[in-house]
A and B are shown apart, each in its own frame.
Chain A
């Protein structure tokens, strides 16, 4: 799966089936999209307050729960003030 291979050792944003967003450095992956993320942080968006960053550490995410893996543009990400963002959390996957 060379599609994800290019993201290894980069900061990635993973959107899970339940709508959660996890940002971390991708350390490993496999064919079933199981992922290993180092120093990951959950970004919790809410409509009232700013984004809450919850540090998680070293995580292995089972591929069944992964919806999307996005490559984070470090420069762009540092310019965004997440405390100002108000947004509804992403909805969960419904089949």
Chain B
């Protein structure tokens, strides 16, 4: 793409990041079998506590906070993030924020021959809006806890 095409970009109006997009739905295909929980009790408790306090907010915000709380428990795990431009990046989850922006350390690209663009990059910040999938190891997730929390959210939503 040549420099003159730069002028043709239409900067979209600033999107209100607090409301969920209807067009871009974040999918998390967690393909794993049930496994015994590897989470330490302190992590489990803090996840529940931070999540229950966030339930005091509006329904929509509570749903978003569930995923945020979930990712906070995953910090220091090795995950693979697949972006909407088909780029797949593996790295250690360092931090996540309310928009589900992801900070990864020690990254490596899935197919380095097709994507040599990132050879000199060791850490990166990925905008939440471009994430298509997040792949994580089975053992790092307590499925039961997540299911219970999700069911609670669904009930809150229906009321």
Contacts and interface: CB of A to CB of B under 8 A. Distances in A.
Contact of B1 (A44, A69, A88): A44
Interface residues of B, number: 36
A89 to B, nearest CB: 8
B117 A72 contact: no
A58 interface: no
B87 interface: yes
Contacts, number: 104
Contacts of A44: 1
Contacts of A66: 127
Interface stretch (B28-36, B63-71, B118-126): B118-126
Contacts of B116: 45, 85, 87
15 contacts: A3-B94, A7-B125, A15-B85, A18-B1, A21-B117, A32-B17, A33-B127, A42-B3, A68-B124, A68-B126, A68-B127, A70-B123, A71-B123, A90-B87, A94-B84
